[in-house]
Amino acid sequence: MLTTLLAAAIFQQETFVESFPSQVTSFKMVRIPDGENRGTTIKGLYAAQTELPWEVYEIWYLQRDQTIQEQTSVRPETISRPSRPYAVIFTGFGHHEYPAICVSLNSAIEFCKWLSAKTGKNYRLPTRAEWEYLAGNAPSNPDETSWHWDNAEDTTHKVATKKANANGLFDCFGNVAEWTLDKENVHGVAGGSWKTKPADLKPGYWQEYSPKWNEADPQTPKSKWWLANGQFIGLRVVCTK
């Protein structure tokens, strides 16, 4: 027992903070214990302690990592960043310290590419097996750990306002559903959201991508960056150093 507790105490220290020069924001990455899930070996994996908040996402989305001169000297077609949404599709949802929402899979992938280039680390979306493993067991008391259908009042909430799970991660279940991506091109969101009933908050709760998530977009073609009906969809990044 003592060895287990000592190992746990040491393990809890395996974190690092990703910060951005000239930006007053950062986020913490937490080392996930090595293990296995769905036949997948999970080793050396770090996961973001929280769902990605707007203030980090906007460094990329709004080009806040670039000077005005850099922004205007690069041709628009060479910048893999979102155009602004055709309408304010997140009206009424929180912003500072709230999770980014309406994020398409394409946006999530491109954000990870940008973050990898900025930091020199291998940032990406988790696979479904990795996500289930880092999320851990279903919450025994969802009200303590999750924002869900019964307590969220039809909206997102600030990240890390509920209890963390055994891996030190917040909001794995509820608040916003989080993108996963597998090599077989199977993609969807895991963990449920503020729209999910408490009984469904469990590792196996996963929703495959649906065109309905963007059906309110009147554009032709529809935006590849934003999901007009995706106010319940965000992301959590993982990385291997």
Q: 70-95 pLDDT, tens per residue?
A: 444 444 344 478 888 877 898 899 99
Q: Is 138 helix (H, G, I), strand (E, B) or coil?
A: coil
Contact 30, 50 (CB under 8 A): no
- Average predicted confidence (pLDDT) for the chain: 89
Amino acid in the structure at residue 86:
Y
If residue 238 lies in a helix (H) or strand (E), which one and from where to where? strand 238-240
What is the average per-residue pLDDT within 29-43? 95
Instruction: Report the Cα 227 to chain-centroid distance in Å.
Output: 15
Nearest to 34 by CA among 14, 56, 54: 14
Which tens digits make up the pLDDT trace of 90-129? Answer: 889 999 999 999 999 999 999 999 999 999 999 999 999 9
CA-based nearest residue to 109, from 181, 193, 60 = 181
Residue 162 predicted with pLDDT over 90: yes
Q: What residues have CB less than 8 Å from 106, skipping those under 6 apart?
A: 224, 225
- pLDDT attached to residue 214: 97
Q: How many residues does the chain have?
A: 241
Contacts (Cβ under 8 Å, ≥6 apart) of 21: none
Q: In the prediction, which pLDDT does 67 show?
A: 52
pLDDT confidence band for 66 (50 / 70 / 90): low
pLDDT at 136 over 70: yes
Please confirm whether the linkage preceding 21 is cis (ω < 30° from 0). Answer: no
- Structural domains of the chain in order of their starting residue, each with its CATH number: 2-240 (3.90.1580.10)
3-state helix, strand, coil in the chain (%, to 5): 25, 20, 55
Condensed to tens digits (0 to 9), the pLDDT of residues 214-227 reads: 999 999 999 999 99
